[in-house]
Amino acid sequence: MPKAIWNGTILAESDRTEIVEGNHYFPPDSIKREFFKDSPTHSTCPWKGEASYYSIEVNGETNPDAAWYYPEPKDAAANIKEYVAFWKGVTVEE
């Protein structure tokens, strides 16, 4: 089962991830919200829409903008609405 791990802590775990462009997107109910802090950062993908970001905080350390999601994706990406993906040193193990 895919797990997202950073700083020795499991941030998300699910057997229902969606893989898009090589990234595992975790269902919103599979993330451990206590480690996620809203970020003001946004970016835009031509076919997915506008992404919002979370910073990750674990054991007193912060990984800024290490997770992203699409709150209102375009139709082509409707399957990942609110699903969370990771980068910036967060590893996903299967």
Can you tell me the distance from the alpha carbon of 1 to that of 77, in angstroms, rounded to the nearest whole number?
23
Q: So where are the chain's domains?
A: 3-93
The structure tokens listed for 41 are: 């950062």
Q: Is 32 helix (H, G, I), strand (E, B) or coil?
A: coil
**pTM for this one?**
0.96
Q: Which fold has domain 3-93?
A: 2.170.150
Structure confidence by residue, pLDDT tens digits, 28-80: 999 999 999 999 999 999 999 999 999 999 999 999 999 999 999 999 999 99
Check residue 85 and give its pLDDT. Answer: 98
Check residue 8 and give its pLDDT. Answer: 96
Q: What are phi and psi of 69, to 5 degrees?
A: -155, 165
Check residue 72 and give its pLDDT. Answer: 98
Check residue 9 and give its pLDDT. Answer: 98
Structure confidence by residue, pLDDT tens digits, 26-38: 999 999 999 999 9
Identity at 5, one-letter amino acid code: I
Residues 7 and 58 sit within 8 Å (Cβ to Cβ): yes
Can you tell me the distance from the alpha carbon of 84 to that of 94, in angstroms, rounded to the nearest whole number?
16
Residues 49 and 68 sit within 8 Å (Cβ to Cβ): no
Check residue 74 and give its pLDDT. Answer: 98
